């Protein structure tokens, strides 16, 4: 029962940006996988919804310094 959510992540300009977003997301409880694509400004996250939610993931991305919205 993992959920998969795709986020738009605006403002990443290098692969280290993507790495810092991935690292921050992976520090949250309940994250199964986080794949951040700097070229397409996307983050695909697979997570356990009983341990974490979209809002917390959004806040985490914003705290790293990027604007984000849920795409689907």
Query: How many chain residues are in contact with ligand 9UX, going by CB under 6 A?
Result: 4
- Build a one-symbol-per-residue string for 5-34: x at contacts with ligand 9UX by CB under 6 A, - elsewhere: --------xx-xx-----------------
* 71 touches ligand 9UX by CB under 6 A: no
CB of residue 13 to ligand 9UX, shortest distance in Å: 4
CB of residue 57 to ligand 9UX, shortest distance in Å: 20
How many alpha carbons fall within 13 Å on the CB side of residue 32? 13
Exposure pattern of 29-45 as b/e (b: 16+ CB <10 Å)?
ebbeebebebeebbbeb
Q: Look-up: residue for tokens 């996250």?
A: 45
- Tokens coding 70: 């849920």
Q: Which residues bind ligand 9UX (CB under 6 A)?
A: 13-14, 16-17
């Amino acid at each position: 029962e993992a959920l998969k959510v795709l986020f738009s992540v605006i403002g990443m300009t290098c692969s280290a940006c993507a790495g810092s977003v991935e690292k921050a997301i992976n520090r949250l409880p309940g994250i199964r996988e986080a794949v951040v694509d700097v070229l397409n400004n996307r983050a695909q996250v697979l997570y356990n919804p009983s341990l974490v939610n979209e809002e917390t993931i959004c806040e985490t991305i914003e705290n790293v310094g990027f604007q984000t919205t849920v795409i689907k």
